[in-house]
Structure 1
């Protein structure tokens, strides 16, 4: 801007000086030309009076010495009698000269024209003498130039100095004028305003700064919200344009074990070379909504690729990466559970149907009818127990289950369970006892009862004849421990992690003989999870089993 101001001002000053100089030059020229014509007119008048008094010969005797111009004397018909510059005898007739012709006619004449004799522009003044002759005095414009140019050259030097001084002052003034402008704080433009004329402009800048500041704050807020959301997502998120990765959140970095600086601005293949990922990106870039599954380190991920459409053009892809391992496991468990339920329900139903058909057809002997009816009753009871256990598990699986916790005395509940199971224990001469302190926990009585009952019931069913079952309660650093130790058949170490699976049985033949459903310990596990408790198993084949439930203190 400083250069533009300097250049514009310098041009204006230069033009002003040149215009002034040219105007002065023409004014002086016109003034000098006017003076020259006036001088020639005066000289011709002076000479005409002298010649009238002294005669034409006086021009040759020194009368013309004081005249600077050219003097010509012609007779009444135009023949040259005398010329101060040329030989009169060799000069042509001048009757056709305008000034002479005018003087012959009117007594006085003048003309300004180009002289063929001197190849210069000249001014002539002619007067008719008393004897009819014409006296003419002329001078060239060069006499004007000769007077003017020395003055012009003398004027040029101060003009050049003035021009140089003007440039210096313009440069200095421009710098001084620009210094306050350059010192303006654009963040606070209305502070220390140097020129009042700039106030409206600076006020607009201040308003724009405020609007821009608000926009930047809003943009930063949106950016922070976006980062906060995407960085704290448990699912991976990758955003790309048609060629490069634009954004990758923390979850995606963890899944693909990559840092942002390693993949930002790079092709998606840099993130991972998995073929499924490539298919999702290619499909989304083709305008399709893609869903694929891929496995990394035994973890199953579901990839969702969606195209980004702007103004009808596909400009990129948004990729979601979700861990669906648990979902797949639950689906498998659900399928397995459905198959097991179908199988477990089918077995007693087939038995009931078979015995009932024999009774209906009268094939069974009268003395065996009671035995067959007893088997039907046993299978029906087993079926009822299985359905009840399935209902209990379904309730425990309900995420919306509301626990109405109460204070539960483990001693009293254990005693109640011992009394309930005592008849079954006596049939096999199994002793069941309780030892430990009277301790209480907070929980849902019905669920806690089913948990403790199932553990004790298993301790009797899978025990040896004349064995023992001991229920113990104690308070440790872990929490309140309730345990059941038996002297039964035990559980192999490889099977101990699976005994809490639904319908899983270590000894299937023994379980069916005792009427077990394979759901008891699953109920125990789910009930413990609902109460924030843990279940521990300590067992070995033929050495008995101890199951401990640790409740929060």
Structure 2
């Protein structure tokens, strides 16, 4: 704006100066032309009067100088005398305008312009009494010649005018623009500026207030969005069509195992695996895409949904969920189903085979009792398996009876060992109990199953002539149950898996030992039910020690 004002003022000054110079020069030229014509006319009349009185002698004796040219022409147009040229070489002048006018009316004037010398010739002719004509010619410079004469001083004046115009234009333009530049756009004040700007400033102030409110609302919405997304355990990523990240919560970085990341980077900076890329590219194609992504921290389910605008994808919304536990549970479910099917199939196959033999009369009467015992043994195995599955299912689903009674562990352990005395005697295992009487609040049924399965395993996996010992003790606020045996022990690499359902360290050897394979799983869940912990120490060939720690005052589930 300053530049435009500056150039405008300069242009006006220069144009005005040039116009003034031209008009003044033209005015002076017009005045000088009138004076020149008047002088030529006066000279013509004087010379004509002198010729009337003195004849040609006057012309011959008089020196007219270089300013005027005198020519005497007879009535036929032939030149009789010329002050500058030989009359004999001059052409007939009867066709000259001023001569023809003088012959007709007594006097005549005319002017002619010469582009060669840029001069104008002013002519005036007077008719004498004898019919001849005296013509006087004077030279007057043209307007262009006059302009050429004054060009140098004019350029000097123009330069001075331009210089002062530049200074004035600079000052004026700055003074004009300064109030505009000084406007506080955030808080415009109408009274301190041009009145002409009042409508604009009022509208600007209104727009500022509106924008300020919208910015506050936008900031509030952004903070709410950030608060909500940051409180999510699931990862959330929003990208543009070029997969540049527009928004990303911390859960997404944690789940994808990404380190430092800033918005504006490509989503592939978070994860660049083929599975992830394929999932995102499918979503960019306009359809919802899902995949399971394996990272160093577990398994992640990725759901990429396109954000559609009319007929084009304007971005992606990507959800990331931790499905490690879900996948593990699904794996455990499949393994559990497979193991249950196998464990149920074995006794059922035996029962079916024996029953088929009995039905077809293939068993001798003396062997019926033995086959019936086998059927009972397999049926008992099925019942135990089903009972264990039901107990484990109740503990898994937290549907076990809610019991809160005082349980004295020492006497409970004595009851368990009494129930297992026959099994210990058959195996040749010596069972013993020691310690102190410790009571706690809990479920007597579940604690009985925990002790029973620990002691039962200590007998089944013991060596003939081995020993089993149960010790009850306590530390402040915690009861401790220790079950140790002198059995075959557990290899160190398998200790971490013995609490899995149906897991057997040595399947060939374990298949010869009666059991459902669910005992230690029931122990684990029963201890968790009482907010306790179970640990195991074992050395192959030397025996195993299970240690259960339970809070003496058990907190009830779902309190709070």
Q: What's the TM-score once normalised by structure 1's chain length?
A: 0.72
In structure 2, relative to structure 1, the CA distance for the partners of 1:365 and 1:146 (3 Å cut) is closer
In structure 2, relative to structure 1, the CA distance for the partners of 1:145 and 1:287 (3 Å cut) is closer
> Structure 1 residue 121: deviation in Å?
2.9
Please list, as runs of the form range in 1=range in 2, the aligned pairs for 1:43-442 lying within 5 A after superposition: 43-48=43-48, 54-56=53-55, 59-60=58-59, 69-88=68-87, 91-114=90-113, 120-142=119-141, 157-185=156-184, 194-201=193-200, 207=207, 211=211, 214=214, 218=218, 225=225, 229=229, 260=261, 326-361=325-360, 373=372, 375-398=374-397, 401=398, 407-411=404-408, 422-425=418-421, 435-440=436-441
| Residue matched to 2:502 | 503
| Residue matched to 2:7 | 7
How far apart, in 2, do the equivalents of 1:338 and 1:492 lie? Answer: 26
- 297-306 vs 498-507, greater mean Cα deviation: 297-306
In the alignment, structure 1 residue 449 sits paired with structure 2 residue 448: no
Q: How many residues align?
A: 539
Query: CA contact under 8 A between 1:409 and 1:438: conserved in structure 2?
Result: yes
In structure 2, relative to structure 1, the CA distance for the partners of 1:437 and 1:120 (3 Å cut) is closer
How far apart, in 2, do the equivalents of 1:170 and 1:76 lie? Answer: 67
How far apart, in 1, do the equivalents of 2:123 and 2:94 lie? Answer: 14
> Structure 1 residue 438: deviation in Å?
3.4
The alignment's C-alpha RMSD in Å is 5.5
3-state DSSP class of the match of 1:436? Answer: coil
3-state DSSP class of the match of 1:391? Answer: helix
How far apart, in 1, do the equivalents of 2:124 and 2:400 lie? Answer: 136
> Structure 1 residue 450: deviation in Å?
2.1
Q: 5+ residue gaps in structure 1?
A: none
How far apart, in 1, do the equivalents of 2:41 and 2:363 lie? Answer: 173
In structure 2, relative to structure 1, the CA distance for the partners of 1:404 and 1:349 (3 Å cut) is closer
3-state DSSP class of the match of 1:439? Answer: strand
- 123-132 vs 351-360, greater mean Cα deviation: 351-360
Query: CA contact under 8 A between 1:238 and 1:249: conserved in structure 2?
Result: no
How far apart, in 1, do the equivalents of 2:458 and 2:382 lie? Answer: 20
- 331-340 vs 94-103, greater mean Cα deviation: 331-340
> Structure 1 residue 473: deviation in Å?
5.7
In structure 2, relative to structure 1, the CA distance for the partners of 1:192 and 1:456 (3 Å cut) is farther
In structure 2, relative to structure 1, the CA distance for the partners of 1:486 and 1:82 (3 Å cut) is closer
In the alignment, structure 1 residue 474 sits paired with structure 2 residue 471: no
In structure 2, relative to structure 1, the CA distance for the partners of 1:529 and 1:90 (3 Å cut) is same
In structure 2, relative to structure 1, the CA distance for the partners of 1:245 and 1:49 (3 Å cut) is same
Query: CA contact under 8 A between 1:44 and 1:125: conserved in structure 2?
Result: yes
In structure 2, relative to structure 1, the CA distance for the partners of 1:48 and 1:395 (3 Å cut) is farther
> Structure 1 residue 436: deviation in Å?
3.2
Query: CA contact under 8 A between 2:450 and 2:527: conserved in structure 1?
Result: no
Q: What's the TM-score once normalised by structure 2's chain length?
A: 0.71
> Structure 1 residue 177: deviation in Å?
3.6
In structure 2, relative to structure 1, the CA distance for the partners of 1:276 and 1:308 (3 Å cut) is same
Query: CA contact under 8 A between 1:253 and 1:259: conserved in structure 2?
Result: no
How far apart, in 1, do the equivalents of 2:147 and 2:513 lie? Answer: 143
How far apart, in 2, do the equivalents of 1:298 and 1:78 lie? Answer: 127
| Residue matched to 2:455 | 459
How far apart, in 1, do the equivalents of 2:227 and 2:507 lie? Answer: 55
